[in-house]
Amino acid sequence: MPSTQVQIWKQLKNIRKKLVKKVTVSHVNQQGNGLVFHLTLKNFWTPLKKISVTVSDGVTEKPIPYKRINNHRLTIHVPEASLKDLENRLKVQLFINGHRMWITASNDFPKSGTSGILLDGKYIVTRVDRFILLYRKFAELKFHPDPFPITGYASGYSRLVLKTGKPLYSDLPDTSIQLYAFQNHKLRILDCHQTSDDCIEITDFTALSLGTWRLFLQRQGQLFPLVTDGSWQAELESFNHVITLMNQNGYACLSASAQTFKPDSISFKMNKDSIQLTFSSGPAMDHRLLQVEDTRTHEVSDYPINQTTAGSFATLPIKELTGNFSIKRFFIVSGGEAPIKRQFSLERNSLSGDFAFNDVIDCQLTRFNFYVHDDGSLALKAERPVIRKRITEISEFKLSGYAGKFLKFTDCKAYLLFEERESLRSIRVPVDGNFEVDLKQLDLPSLKSKNKTIIDLYIEIINSDGQTVRKEKIRYSESDYRKDHYYDSHFLHDAEGNIHYYLVTTTPFHNTKIETFAVPATIELNDEGALKDRNVWLVGERTDTAQDNGLVLYQWLREHTDVEAYYVLEKDSKDYKNICEDPNVLEFGSQKHYDLSLKAGVLLGTHDLENLLPFKTARGFFHYEDTYKVFLQHGVLGRKNVEYHKKFYDVPFDLFIVSSDEEKEEIVMEEMGYEYDEVAVTGLARFDRLVQNEPPKDILLMPTWRDWINTDQQFLESEYFSTYVNLINNPELNNLLREHNVRLNFYPHYRAQDFFERNIDIEDSRVNFITFGSRKVQDLLIEHALLITDYSTVSFDFIKMKKPVIHYHFDVERFFRKGILRPIEDTFIGRIAQSEQEIVDLIKDRLLHDFDNYEVDITGVIKYPDHRNCERIYHSVLKGLEQRPAATIQRY
C-alpha cells in the first residue's frame, strides 16, 4: 500500500476512534446494602439530553437511580430493594438519548471485583459484557452475617496460624471447621486444622492461584466472614507464592503473588543439541533447578543448575524445548527444607546479545526466540516455518493454487493430499509452487469406504524416510461458506454402473474438501422426488447414532400421531441392533431409504440434514428445496458460536427448535438471523425422558471435543489430553473416591474415545472407562449423581434433573476464541473450575454434601419443567406446515 494511502487510512482510523461512543465501568463499591458503579463516557459530543437506567431480572424491568457528574462521568446506584430480588441474574442497562449503550469494563475493573461482594447473606459477583450483570453465586451455601474477628497470627514457611477473637466450638454436635476462599466465581477449600479453642492452622496453599481471596470460616454448616481491624498484615512464603494476609474493606483476605528473581544478567548460547542458559545474581542464592513449564499442558521439566565463577547455568535439550511447539516459561527452584519456586523478573530490554536461534528440528528450520512475557517472566517460543498454501481457483473440476516456501525444509517433498475422512485412504499429488490438479484424472472412487463420505485436502510434507513432517489443511481463497452450497461438481459411472457424485465445498474454517455420494446401480430412482408428501416425516441424528432428540421424537410420533414417521440410521451403527426390528427404521442408503427420501415432505434432524439423506442437501438435488426442514438441535445454544446461522445456508431451516425465550430472541433471532415465526420455544425432545426413578450414584466425567485437534500427534501433545489424564490420575481425587466409595465413570467424546482408550492406564484407579455406544447418554445422565463436563450442553439435561454440574474450563479462552453467544455465567450453571486443584476441591465439596444440588435458576435456559416437549415440537411443525404455501409442498 502506498505511503499516502497508509496515512489516509491512519487518519480515518483516528477519526473513527473519536466518533465511536464508549461507556466503561471503572469500579464498583458497596454503599450500605446497595452497589454503586462508576462509569466513564467517551466521545459524547452532543448534549446528554435524556438518560435512563433500568435493572431487569428477565421478567420485570424497573428504573434505578443514577447521578450525572459531568458529560464524561456518571454513577449508577443499584439499591438494596433490587438486590433483594436477586436469585440468579440482574441486568443493568444504560440508555442515553434513546439509545441503549454498549458497556465495557476498564482495565482496572476486574481487579476491583476479585473477591465478590456479600450483601444480605448473598454472595454477588459482577461482570461487564454489553451490560452490567450481577450474579448470585453459591446460593446453596449459607452465609452468616456475624463475622469472626482475626485478632492475631503466627507464620512460617507454608504455615499460617490465625487466632480468632472468639471460640471456634459451641455446644452443637457438629464441630467440624473448614476454611473457604472465594475469588469472584472461584471457590477453594483450604486444608486446615484447629490447634486450640481459638486458633486455625493452614499448611497447604497450593489450591490458591494468583490474586486476592476472601476468607470465610465454615462452621456448623454456615460460612462466617473473617474480618480484621486493618492494624497489621502478615506475609509468608510457600513453594509457589508469597502469601499475604491482609485487610480489604474490613474483611480478611489472602493475596497470592508470584515469587520473583531478578538476575543481574542473563544470556543464551546454542550448542549442538542444547541451549545453555546462563544468569548471574547479586545476593547468593541456593539455585538448584531450572524448571521449564509447558504453558499448554502445564507439564514441568527440571534441569540441574551448575555454579561457576561466571554465574549459574543450565543446559536445556533443544528437542525437549520444541515439544508441542507451545510457549515455555522458566522458573528457578531453590533447595533445602523450604524450597521456593521463583519466576524471572525482567525488564523489556533485559535480553541482550543472542536470544534468538535457528536449528533444524524434524527436517524443519525452527526458530527459537527467548522473550520477556507481559508479567516480566522469561519465556520461549519455538516456531516452525510457515507454509504458504492456498487453492485460488476451482473450475472444470480442476484445482489451481500454490504451495511454497519449502526452502526451510531439509530433504523433503510436498504433496497435495486427498484423504477420505473415515478410512484415511489417500492419494498424493506432488506440488512445488503453483499447481493445477485435474480431479477427473484421480482415482477418487478408490478412496471411498462408503457411498456417502467426505475427502479432506491437505498439504503434506514428507521426508526422505517417508515420515510425515507436516500435514495442514488448505484453504480456498474465494470461499463463500454455506453448508448446502458447492463450487464445482462432477459425476461419473464406474464399471459396476454406480453413479458417483463429487462436489467441491469448504468447511467453516474455509478449508477445501470434496463431498461425495454414490447412487448404486441397484437403486431405482422413482420420479426423482418431484412431489413431496407432508405426512411423511424423516427423522434422524448423526448417521451412526440413535439415542438423542431425534430418536425420542420419532418414537413419540409413532406412538401418539398418525404421521408416517421414519428414522434413518447406518446399518453398522452400534445403535442399529437396538431398533432395527422397527419396520420404520431405514437403513441408510437402502432402496427404501431412497424411496422415502424422495417422498418425504418434512425433514427433522439434530444435526445437519446431510445425515438424513443419501444425496447432497443442496438446491437442485431431488427437489431438496421443496422439503420442510426442522432443526431439532442436540443441545441448548448460548455457548460456542456454532455454524447454524441462517446465512450459512442457501436453503435454510424452516423451523428452529429452542428451549427458552432467551435462546430464541438473544441467540437464534439476534445472532443467527432467523425470523420470529421460524423459531419455536418447545424444549428438547430428549427432556421428556429425563425421569429420575432411582437415587443416583457415582460421578460422570463427560468432556466435549476440541475442533483444533486434527491428527493423532496433535491429540497426544495437546493440553486437552494431558489435562484429563492428569485429572483421572490425581492422587487426592482417587483417595476421595476410595474414601467415599464412589466411582468416576469417564465417557469421552466419540472423536476422542480411541485416543484415550489406547493411551491411558486406569487399572489401579477408581476411574472406569465407558466405550462409545455401550450405553445410552440419557441413561448415563440419569444414573449419576454429579456431572463433570467442560462445555457440553448435556449439562442442561443434568441440571433439569436437579443434580449438580461442575464445568472444567482449563482452556476457556481458546475454546471461545471465535466468540461466545451469551455470558459464561448465563449458561454454565453450577460451578466452574479452571485448574486441577480447583476441580478436585469442588468434587470434594459435593462429596462432603452428599451430592446435594446447587441452588440454581434454570428458567433462563429451559422454560418448561414438564415432559411435553415432543408434543410442543409436533404442534409447532404442524403450524409451520399450515403457514407454508400450499403450492410448494403437495400431497400424494
pLDDT digits (tens, 9 = 90+) for 252-296: 999 999 999 888 888 899 988 899 999 887 555 677 899 999 887
For residues 74 and 64, give the distance between their C-alpha atoms in angstroms, rounded to a whole number.
13
* Domain 148-258 CATH (choose: 1.20.1060, 3.90.930, 2.60.40, 3.40.50): 2.60.40
Cβ proximity of 846 and 740 under 8 Å: no
Measure the CA angle with vertex 425, ends 420 and 429; round to 5°.
90
> What is the signed CA dihedral for 595, 598, 604, 609, rounded to 10 degrees?
110
Q: Which three cell numbers stand for residue 118?
A: 456479600
Distance of alpha carbon 841 from alpha carbon 848, whole angstroms: 10
pLDDT band at 566 (very low <50, low <70, confident <90, very high): very high
pLDDT band of 112, cuts 50, 70, 90? very low
Contact residues for 679 (Cβ-Cβ < 8 A; gap 6+): 655, 656, 658, 664, 668, 669
For residues 507-532, average pLDDT:
87
- The DSSP call for residue 372 is E
pLDDT(757) > 90: no
What band does 879 get if pLDDT is binned at 50, 70 and 90? very high
Residue 560 is predicted with a pLDDT of: 97
> What are the sequence ranges of the domains in the chain?
3-137, 148-258, 260-383, 396-519, 527-688, 693-848
Question: Which one of 126-130, 311-315, 533-537 scores highest in mean pLDDT?
Answer: 533-537
Is residue 628's pLDDT more than 90? Answer: yes
Strands 251-258 and 241-248: antiparallel
pLDDT digit string, tens, across residues 469-487: 999 999 999 999 999 999 9
Predicted local distance difference test score (pLDDT) of residue 137:
80
DSSP string, 605-646: ESS-GGGT-SS--STTSTTGGGSEEEE--SS--SSB--S--G
Mean pLDDT of 710-719: 76
Own/partner contacts of 460-467, CB < 8 Å, gap of 24 or more, are: 460/414, 460/415, 460/416, 460/417, 460/428, 461/363, 461/387, 461/406, 461/409, 461/412, 461/413, 461/414, 461/415, 462/412, 462/413, 462/414, 462/415, 463/362, 463/363, 463/410, 463/411, 463/412, 464/411, 464/412
At 870 the three-state DSSP class reads helix
The residue assigned the cell 416437549 is 869
pLDDT greater than 50 at residue 212? yes
Equal fold, 527-688 vs 693-848: yes
The pairing of beta strand 655-658 with beta strand 679-681: parallel
Question: How far is it, in rounded angstroms, from Cα 379 to Cα 328?
Answer: 5
Residue 534 CA to residue 563 CA, distance in Å, equals 9
Per residue in 685-714, pLDDT (tens digit) is 999 988 888 888 899 999 988 877 777 777
Residue spans of alpha helices (H) in 28-85: 80-84
The amino acid present at 192, given as its one-letter code, is C
Q: Is 839 exposed, middle or buried (0-12, 13-18, 19+ CB in 10 A)?
A: buried
- Joined together, the cell numbers standing for residue 457 give 485436502
pLDDT digits (tens, 9 = 90+) for 40-94: 998 887 778 889 999 988 778 899 999 998 878 899 999 888 887 787 788 899 9
Contacts of 41 (CB under 8 A, 6+ apart): 21, 22, 23, 48, 71, 72, 73, 74
> Which pLDDT does position 585 carry in this prediction?
96
CA distance 687 to 801: 9
Yes or no: say if 80 and 90 are a contact pair by the CB < 8 Å rule.
no
Closest C-alpha among 612, 608, 554 to residue 583: 554
State how far the Cα of 108 lies from the Cα of 777, in Å rounded to an integer: 44
pLDDT band at 308 (very low <50, low <70, confident <90, very high): confident
Q: Any idea what DSSP says for residue 677?
A: G
Q: Is the pLDDT of residue 4 over 80?
A: no
| Cell numbers for 775 | 450405553
pLDDT above 90: percentage of residues in the chain: 47
- Is the pLDDT at 445 greater than 70? The verdict is yes
Mean pLDDT of 429-436: 95
- What's the distance, CA 514 to chain centroid? 28
Domain 260-383: which CATH number of 2.60.40, 3.40.50, 1.20.58, 1.10.10: 2.60.40
> Cα–Cα distances in Å, from 840 out to 134, 766, 833?
27, 14, 9
Mean pLDDT of 397-413: 93
10-24, 87-101, 865-879: least confidently modelled range = 10-24
Phi, psi angles (nearest 5°) of residue 773 = 90, -10
Mean pLDDT of 113-119: 66
> The domain 3-137: what is its CATH number?
2.60.40
Report the candidate in 807, 858, 825, 809 with the shortest Cα–Cα distance to residue 113: 825
Exposed/middle/buried for residue 60 (C-beta within 10 Å: 0-12, 13-18, 19+):
exposed
Burial of 292 (0-12, 13-18, 19+ CB in 10 A): buried
Pick the residue with more confidence: 110 or 546? 546
Please say whether the beta carbons of 662 and 861 come within 8 A.
yes
* pLDDT reported for residue 477: 96
Give yes or no for residue 174 having a pLDDT over 50: no
Question: Which residues lie below 8 Å from residue 150, measured CB to CB, with a gap of 6+?
Answer: 162, 163, 164, 165, 226, 227, 228, 245, 252
Give Cα 85 distance to the centre of its chain.
31
The mean of the pLDDT values for the chain is 87
Question: pTM score, two decimals?
Answer: 0.73
Give the architecture-level CATH label for domain 527-688: 3-Layer(aba) Sandwich (3.40)
DSSP strand pairing (585-587 vs 564-569): parallel
Contact 149, 196 (CB under 8 A): no
Give me the helices (H) in 763-858, please.
Answer: 777-783, 794-800, 812-815, 824-827, 836-848
Q: Kindly report, residue by residue over 332-363, the tens digit of the pLDDT.
A: 999 888 999 999 999 877 787 778 899 998 89
Angle, in degrees to the nearest 10, between helices 836-848 and 731-739: 10
The CATH topology of domain 693-848 is Rossmann fold (3.40.50)
Q: Is the pLDDT of residue 887 over 60?
A: no
pLDDT at 890: 46
Residue 18 has a pLDDT of 56
- Note the pLDDT of residue 113: 45
Confidence band of 371 (pLDDT split at 50, 70, 90): very high
C-alpha 411/C-alpha 406 separation (Å) is 10
